């Protein structure tokens, strides 16, 4: 049996923070960057809506962000960077993608390109081998990104299912006490989210209409955008037939809610549970020996990969909690377990 994996990066969640509200001046910007680099959650103004920002390279910070938003599944997050040079360290740009970036960044356009794997955490990409990238136009956002010096995930700063916030008051109405800091720069200007283009295909496909008009994009491309039926650009809509390959899934069968380990199987467990047959498991990985769902979410993709590499005939997964991030973890494992 292989050793239990205990990534050194996990830090236990701190006591529930009180949310600080700072003016978006030089001191506020420096503090926001410091909190982000320390793995904290910061609501930032962008030209579209207030974003809930975290370090996109840190799976624990990303898990905390999903928990604060109360998202029922792990949607892929947009990596925000201060300029094109930083963007090219996060993803692979085709000449077409580069032409769009040069023309429209900074601005309300998000480009999905093949990911440079080490540049963002797999949890931030929700397992995709592509990454969505944007350079926001808001000068406060860009100053924070430049000072943070790493890609920053920033979905809208609201609880899942609520409307996107365009003021610091909206942010606090939803997330007071759940995040570390709000950087207040007054109301946002555009108020609708970025247009999202899939640039992993040519011509690119419109995944979500938004703050930049299709016509302006088509003019630069000299071609019509391909159509992709993805209302609202929800991550679920991306899991169309033939697209699973872009989503990490183990090569062996995954069996959920297992109460015993079958011969030849490896075990994915939680909170130290050892179901019958564990002693003959090909490998055992515990998502969180302490039973912490944020730690479990942060480790999910790394553990799936390690289990996949263990040479087992299948992966048995113990019953996992359904509350909090448990719902997103179960959702991801159900996709991994789906017949392909």
Three-state SS sequence of 207-232: EECCCCCHHHHHHHHCCCCEECCCHH
- Residue 112 within binding range of ligand AMP, rule CB under 6 A: yes
Choose the one of ligand AMP, Mg ion, none that binds residue 330, judging by a C-beta under 5 to 8 angstroms depending on kind: none
Q: How far apart are CA 293 and CA 322, in angstroms?
A: 10
Q: Which helix (H) or strand (E) holds 244?
A: none
Non-local (6+) Cβ contacts of 85 within 8 A are none
End-to-end alpha carbon distance in the chain: 28
- Name which of 122 and 265 has its Cβ closer to ligand AMP: 122
**Are the CB atoms for 113 and 174 separated by under 8 Å?**
no
**Are the CB atoms for 235 and 126 separated by under 8 Å?**
yes
- Residue 156 within binding range of Mg ion, rule CB under 5 A: yes
Contact residue for ligand AMP among 128, 228, 247, 299 (CB under 6 A): 128
- Residue 75 within binding range of ligand AMP, rule CB under 6 A: yes
Q: Give me the 251-280 binding string for ligand AMP, x by CB under 6 A, dash otherwise.
A: ------------------------------
* Sole window of 83-91, 123-131, 263-271, 298-306 interacting with ligand AMP (rule: CB under 6 A): 123-131
- Name which of 156 and 230 has its Cβ closer to Mg ion: 156
Q: How far apart are CA 125 and CA 128, in angstroms?
A: 5
* Sole window of 25-33, 229-237, 258-266, 295-303 interacting with ligand AMP (rule: CB under 6 A): 229-237
Contact residue for ligand AMP among 33, 78, 188, 325 (CB under 6 A): 78
Non-local (6+) Cβ contacts of 28 within 8 A are 22, 183, 184
* Sole window of 148-156, 294-302, 315-323, 330-338 interacting with Mg ion (rule: CB under 5 A): 148-156
Choose the one of ligand AMP, Mg ion, none that binds residue 152, judging by a C-beta under 5 to 8 angstroms depending on kind: none
- Residue 234 within binding range of ligand AMP, rule CB under 6 A: yes
- Residue 233 within binding range of ligand AMP, rule CB under 6 A: yes
Q: Between residue 196 and residue 255, which ones bind Mg ion under the rule CB under 5 A? A: none
Shortest distance in whole angstroms from residue 191 CB to ligand AMP? 13
Shortest distance in whole angstroms from residue 75 CB to ligand AMP? 4
**Are the CB atoms for 281 and 307 separated by under 8 Å?**
no
Q: How far apart are CA 107 and CA 158, in angstroms?
A: 21
Q: Which helix (H) or strand (E) holds 198?
A: strand 195-198
- Residue 155 within binding range of ligand AMP, rule CB under 6 A: yes
Q: How far apart are CA 313 and CA 251, in angstroms?
A: 10
Tell me which residue of 245, 161, 160, 189 sits closest to 45, measured CA to CA: 189
Choose the one of ligand AMP, Mg ion, none that binds residue 130, judging by a C-beta under 5 to 8 angstroms depending on kind: ligand AMP
Q: Between residue 180 and residue 219, which ones bind ligand AMP under the rule CB under 6 A? A: 193, 196, 207-208
For residue 222 the two structure tokens come to: 């000299």
Angle between helices 293-308 and 59-69 (to 10 degrees): 130
Q: How far apart are CA 38 and CA 55, in angstroms?
A: 8
Contact residue for ligand AMP among 64, 71, 80, 125 (CB under 6 A): 125
Q: By the criterion CB under 5 A, which residues form the site for Mg ion?
A: 156, 164
| Chain contacts with ligand AMP (rule: CB under 6 A) | 75-78, 112, 125, 128, 130-132, 155-156, 193, 196, 207-208, 233-235, 238
């Amino acid at each position: 049996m292989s050793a239990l994996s205990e990534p050194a990066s996990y830090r236990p969640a701190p006591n529930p923070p009180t949310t600080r509200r700072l003016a978006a001046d030089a001191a506020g910007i420096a503090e926001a960057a410091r909190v982000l680099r320390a793995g904290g959650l910061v609501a930032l103004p962008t030209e579209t809506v207030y974003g809930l920002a975290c370090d996109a390279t840190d799976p624990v910070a990303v898990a905390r962000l999903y928990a604060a938003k109360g998202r029922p599944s792990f949607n892929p997050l947009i990596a925000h960077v201060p300029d094109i040079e930083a963007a090219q360290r996060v993803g692979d740009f085709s000449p077409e993608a580069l032409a769009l970036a040069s023309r429209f960044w900074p601005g309300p356009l998000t480009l999905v390109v093949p990911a440079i794997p080490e540049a963002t955490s797999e949890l931030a990409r929700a397992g995709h081998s592509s990454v969505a990238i944007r350079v926001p136009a808001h000068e406060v956002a860009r100053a924070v990104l430049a000072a943070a010096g790493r890609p920053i995930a920033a979905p809208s700063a609201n609880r899942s299912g609520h409307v996107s916030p365009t003021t610091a008051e909206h942010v606090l109405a939803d997330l007071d006490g759940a995040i570390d800091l709000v950087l207040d720069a007054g109301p946002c200007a555009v108020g609708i989210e970025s247009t999202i283009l899939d640039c992993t295909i040519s011509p690119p496909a419109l995944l979500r209409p938004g703050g930049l008009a299709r016509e302006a994009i088509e003019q630069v491309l000299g071609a019509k955008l391909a159509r992709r039926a993805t209302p609202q650009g929800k991550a679920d809509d991306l899991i169309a037939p033939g697209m699973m390959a872009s989503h990490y899934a183990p090569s062996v069968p995954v069996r959920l809610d297992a109460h015993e380990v079958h011969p030849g199987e490896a075990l994915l467990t939680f909170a130290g549970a050892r179901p019958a047959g564990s002693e003959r498991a090909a490998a055992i990985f515990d998502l969180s020996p302490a039973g912490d769902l944020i730690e479990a979410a942060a480790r999910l993709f790394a553990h799936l990969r390690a289990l996949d590499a263990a040479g087992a005939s299948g992966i048995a997964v113990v019953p996992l909690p359904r509350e909090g991030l448990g719902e997103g973890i179960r959702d991801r494992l159900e996709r991994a377990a789906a017949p392909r």
